[in-house]
Structure 1
Amino acid sequence: MDSYSFFALLFAVLILVLVLFTFRKHQRQQKEMLQVDAEQEEFQQIALLRVQNPSPKDEQAYTLIEQMRQRVWTSLRLDTSLAPKTIWKMSFDLIKEIAAIYYPGIDNPHYQASLVQLTELNERIILRLQDYLEEFPLNTIKDANVQDVLHYKALFEKVKNFEFVQFARKHKYLYDIGQYVWMGVNAMNPWYWGRKAIFTAGKEGSYRYLLSVILTVVGEEAVLVYSKRQIRTQTVAVEKNIALEMINMAVVDRHVSSEEYQLILSFVLKNPHFDNQVKVALLKALQLKRPLSATLPPEPYTDADKSRLMKKVESVAKADQLSLLKKQEHLKQLEQTLAVTSGLRKKLEPIPVDETHSDDLLAQKRRKEEAILRLFTQAASLDGTLPDAIREYIIQRAVSYPKPFGLQEQAAILQEAVSPSSPDSLTDRISSQTDKERALSEILDALLWYLPFSRVEEEFYSKIVAALNLRKIGDKLLQKRLEGLLPSEKLIDRPPFTILKPLFRFLQQQEQLMALQQSATNYQFITEGKKPVKKTAPYWLCVTDGRVFLLAAATIERTLYYHHLEFQQDLRVEIHKGKVSDSYILYDRQQEIHVAPTLFHSAKLRCALERYLQENARV
């Protein structure tokens, strides 16, 4: 009896534990479903930008957009294809339905827009979608190919179409029983299983978000086109006129200084309202150096537009001190056109302006530009030859200057490649800090035009840094420029400056850097002399498309020392597995070295070596 009671009690305890386990699992699954619902609801919160004072037709169009977006999120079967053709058809159908709202009873209402409007519609949609792809959550799937997208959908469809599941769905009582009894397994509940797999394990939430974004952007832009609103046209026209008036101010004396170029280029290239065609047209107008007529926008300028236009033109007028009389006259004409007072013109009026003095300033700027071009030529021809591409660039710079350099002056500049002048005699013409920094930056452009960055080029750079008295920023500028030459690869880490300089001494112009990883294996440097100094530095593994080499570098008493170890084409790699990280043996016919990865970087080091071996068809 005692034995029977014991087993009965044990059985009851097991039943209770099983029930509690099942209940807790059910509660956890319900919580996960609620989290998924919350994530899905958060994804759906895409703001719909509406026009001000919408008409009844506008409201009807926005309701249509909301309905189509809702279909994307309420479809549990994922019947919506993610193929590009289907997405295009879905967007085109939305445009046609919106056009039908504004033009009821007309065949093909979507043709009521002009060709220019439809072209601009397409460009604006593409630009806006590109901006969305750089933000969360679409940045998580922007690099996924369409095949991966369709794979997630096929995974759901495969589970949904199991024969056992289809049989259970036809017999509702079996489906309900299986839904609750087998909740732990979820084999009978494809709705929950598929929903969890797709929204949690997969990226369907982001894919649906993408579809919603496409519908939102297409719908918003279609409303602006077919409602005949001038919101976009007005903004672009105002910005374009500001750019044209800035150009007119710059070319008032038929010369455009480098300061004026910089202001106008910055305004045009960074303006979000200009597409590429408008930017190219404005830059061509600037290059012609002729005044242009601004076209009136669809609606009159607002007071804010007038004030902004005047301030931008004034910024060009005070960019340099040349032709101030002509600039004053141009500001006066602009005041009459806009009915706005220019504060800058009033400040300039009491100052007696000497145009001869302006010509002297222009001559000084021209001598400074000539000095920079001569230094540029020297930097580009340190090996005794001047590449044709750089020669053409220098000639183009000389011809495009506000007061172009003649043929004899161009020949004298190019002669620096054969008979270089003293750098000190050229740097003496460059006095201001801004001009010095620009000159140093352009000289560095010439030195890094082609790789490698040789020791001779580095010594020339150091000499120019000293001549310009820019020792404080010389190394920082060089480091920033060399870092900018590194490819944006996952296997390329940012090395210290001591590694960057010798690295670009070894890299050739046509060589592609594929991986750059620091190792935990060190090399010891020892200086010569009565009191030798020792210093250890880690090896950096450098993998290019044609070779593998190790590089270590250290600075001792302001002198850079580096050690270079390169492997031959018969390189082999052995991987020794470890508890914390792997170790690697690199060897060829002549040498062998053991390389240990830094903490948490073993996988990167292995990938770097595997990529090289794959590229060279070796196992």
Structure 2
Amino acid sequence: MHLQTAVEWFRQVATEHLTSILLCILTLAVIGAVFILRWWLRRRWHALLQESASENFHLGDPADLTTQDQEALACLKQMRREVFHAPESQLSIAFESLFQRSQDVVRRIARIYHPDKEEPEYQASLEGLLQLTQRVTARLQAIAGYGPFRVLASRRLAHYRSLYRTYQSVQESPLVQGLRKHKRIYKVARLLWNLRNIKNPFYWLGKELSQEGYFLMLRWFHIALVNQVGKEAIRLYSSRPFIHDEERDLALACLKVLHECRQSGRLDAGSLERWVVFVCGLPVLDANSKLRLIRGACSGDLPPDVEKEDFRTSRGKKWYQKGMEMVPRKDSE
């Protein structure tokens, strides 16, 4: 009897509130899917961030490193770790925030190479500082045009500033601050607010993805900024031509491809044109390095012992193989 009454009541509720029930089911499904996606993204992105923050740069043969070089590399790694553990309130995409962080990186690296100077960052030439800015800008532009970073790069800064001000005003409001002092009451208040939106699946989807995705991408962008500025600062103040095995290997791949084509007699006007296209399409290398490679190829001024040099990274080998498939003149030609 009671079972029949319950079934009839359920049918009546399902008939009268079918839309609400479907929205609740959809919301629960979205919450479950977003929870799984959030867990996977956090795990994946934090692993990538951890890898980026712990990445080691190489200035060449470790035996040739000076004490200052070792200290600069350790300092750069520490700065990346600081960004990795920085609170979200310190992460901003505004120009002032990015400029201040870049300036701090340059000063800390310069202080290592010129500890006796009051303003060590001014021990570089204007030309060197301009080249540093140019190379960092080129790398960050490439990062901003890659995958999810396009979402950040395509929006106006005023949009993020408005969102941050709204977020800050809510978090600093007396009501929220008062609730934060009582953790249990704060959790209950958040639960009630979430229940208010239980029938709105788009609220949950936007809430979770915007919070997780935005701050993870922003943190990754700041780590990339510290990476590039720190790397170029070490290049500038240590006067080394290459500071990363990847850069060295990409340049070596270009030289090896050209040398191999010349040695085998498969270098003609078409091959040289394809080689220039290959060089221009290389990532990581800045425009000046590419220009020097092309100028050296045109003038014949290339290192004599290119074939004796070995690659230090797998990426250099892959680009060399790609160049050998793309550049040499085919027998059918």
| CA pair 111-319 structure 1, distance change in 2 beyond 3 A | farther
Aligned pair partner of 2:229 in 212, 218, 221: 218
1:85 corresponds to which letter in structure 2?
Answer: E
Aligned pair partner of 2:185 in 153, 178, 186: 178
- Residue 114 of structure 2 aligns with which residue? 103
Whether contact under 8 Å (1:152, 1:198) holds in the other structure is no
Partners of 1:215 and 1:156 in 2: CA distance: 26
| CA pair 45-139 structure 1, distance change in 2 beyond 3 A | farther
How far 1:109 moved relative to its partner? 2.0
Where does structure 2 lack aligned partners over 5 or more consecutive residues?
Answer: 1-27, 195-203, 311-319
Mapping for residues 272-421 of structure 1, pairs under 5 Å: 272=282, 273=285, 275=287, 279=291, 282=294, 292=299, 294=301, 301-304=305-308
- Residue 45 of structure 1 aligns with which residue? 50
| CA pair 57-239 structure 1, distance change in 2 beyond 3 A | same
How far 1:303 moved relative to its partner? 4.0
Whether contact under 8 Å (1:244, 1:282) holds in the other structure is no
Mapping for residues 26-37 of structure 1, pairs under 5 Å: 37=42
How far 1:266 moved relative to its partner? 1.7
How far 1:150 moved relative to its partner? 1.9
1:45 corresponds to which letter in structure 2?
Answer: Q
CA-to-partner distance for each residue in 1:387-440, whole Å, 9 max, x for gaps?
A: xxxxxxxxxxxxxxxxxxxxxxxxxxxxxxxxxxxxxxxxxxxxxx96xxxxxx
| CA pair 244-73 structure 1, distance change in 2 beyond 3 A | closer
Q: Which has the higher contact order (CA 8 A, sep 6+)?
A: 2
- Residue 404 of structure 1 aligns with which residue? none
- Residue 165 of structure 1 aligns with which residue? 176
CA-to-partner distance for each residue in 1:451-505, whole Å, 9 max, x for gaps?
A: xxxxxxxxxxxxxxxxxxxxxxxxxxxxxxxxxxxxxxxxxxxxxxxxxxxxxxx
Where does structure 1 lack aligned partners over 5 or more consecutive residues?
Answer: 1-23, 188-192, 250-258, 287-291, 321-432, 435-619
- Residue 128 of structure 1 aligns with which residue? 139
Partners of 1:77 and 1:59 in 2: CA distance: 30
CA-to-partner distance for each residue in 1:80-107, whole Å, 9 max, x for gaps?
A: 4321132022112101111111221123
| CA pair 109-210 structure 1, distance change in 2 beyond 3 A | same
1:209 aligns with 2:220: yes
Whether contact under 8 Å (1:121, 1:225) holds in the other structure is yes
Aligned pair partner of 2:101 in 77, 90, 107: 90
| CA pair 49-124 structure 1, distance change in 2 beyond 3 A | farther
1:263 aligns with 2:274: no
SS in 2 for 1:230: coil
Aligned pair partner of 2:73 in 28, 45, 62: 62
Larger proportion of helix: 2
Aligned pair partner of 1:72 in 59, 62, 83: 83
Whether contact under 8 Å (2:56, 2:77) holds in the other structure is no
Whether contact under 8 Å (1:98, 1:222) holds in the other structure is yes
- Aligned pairs, how many? 260
| CA pair 139-230 structure 1, distance change in 2 beyond 3 A | same
| CA pair 302-222 structure 1, distance change in 2 beyond 3 A | same
How far 1:280 moved relative to its partner? 9.4
Partners of 2:294 and 2:51 in 1: CA distance: 35
Partners of 1:183 and 1:274 in 2: CA distance: 49
| CA pair 283-302 structure 1, distance change in 2 beyond 3 A | closer
Larger proportion of strand: 1
Partners of 1:266 and 1:89 in 2: CA distance: 41
SS in 1 for 2:50: coil
Aligned pair partner of 2:167 in 144, 156, 159: 156
2:276 corresponds to which letter in structure 1?
Answer: V
CA-to-partner distance for each residue in 1:499-558, whole Å, 9 max, x for gaps?
A: xxxxxxxxxxxxxxxxxxxxxxxxxxxxxxxxxxxxxxxxxxxxxxxxxxxxxxxxxxxx
Partners of 2:88 and 2:297 in 1: CA distance: 56
1:41 corresponds to which letter in structure 2?
Answer: H
CA-to-partner distance for each residue in 1:190-240, whole Å, 9 max, x for gaps?
A: xxx9x958523x622212221111111211222233233333697798789
Whether contact under 8 Å (2:143, 2:149) holds in the other structure is yes
Quote the sequence identity (%). 20
Partners of 2:171 and 2:42 in 1: CA distance: 20
Whether contact under 8 Å (1:245, 1:294) holds in the other structure is no
Partners of 2:221 and 2:238 in 1: CA distance: 26
How far 1:184 moved relative to its partner? 1.1
Partners of 2:238 and 2:105 in 1: CA distance: 15
Partners of 1:198 and 1:234 in 2: CA distance: 38
Whether contact under 8 Å (1:243, 1:264) holds in the other structure is no
TM-score when normalising by structure 1? 0.35
CA-to-partner distance for each residue in 1:166-206, whole Å, 9 max, x for gaps?
A: 2334xx3xx2231344341369xxxxx9x958523x62221
- Residue 511 of structure 1 aligns with which residue? none
Q: CA RMSD in A?
A: 4.6
How far 1:157 moved relative to its partner? 0.8
Partners of 2:173 and 2:232 in 1: CA distance: 43
TM-score when normalising by structure 2? 0.59
Larger Rg: 1
